[in-house]
Amino acid sequence: MNAYDEYMRGIVQPMREELVQHGFTELTSAEKVQETMDKLEGTALVVINSVCGCAAGQARPAVREALDSTENKPDHLFTVFAGQDKEATEMFRDYFPEVPPSSPSIALWKDGALAYFIPREQIENSQMEQIKDHLTGVLEQYCSK
């Protein structure tokens, strides 16, 4: 690993931990993504994480608060890190090729297909509370028990 990779790994570790500490499982390789997605049952919330300011200021906090504010939680929580785990992110995006690459973004997977997607454009131009409310509504619609 070169010095730049080591430096970036140190910078992004807290950004990774922010979701992992909230119950998310990191998918860090293409193999792990494929293995997970191919046998996935039920619902899954997947956050495509990134280092940008809108991920820190809006996306990650909104996801945490939405999950805390609803009883309708997905069966699984996963995250891939765009720009860091490139092969994993690319493999995950291959599962919904009709959606342009976007990070940060939030995908809801249900019964083997993409059920809902919140792209970067709906994150970076919104307040955290708006994203939380949007995602809470999505979870209540698609994850009702």
Catalytically active residues are 52, 54
Q: Distance between terminal CA atoms of the chain? A: 45
24 DSSP 8-state letter: P
Question: Strands 105-110 and 113-118: what pairing?
Answer: antiparallel
What is the number of residues in the chain?
A: 145
**Of the candidates 70, 39, 37, 78, the residue with the CA atom closest to the CA atom of residue 143:** 70
For 85, phi then psi, to 5°, come to -105, 70
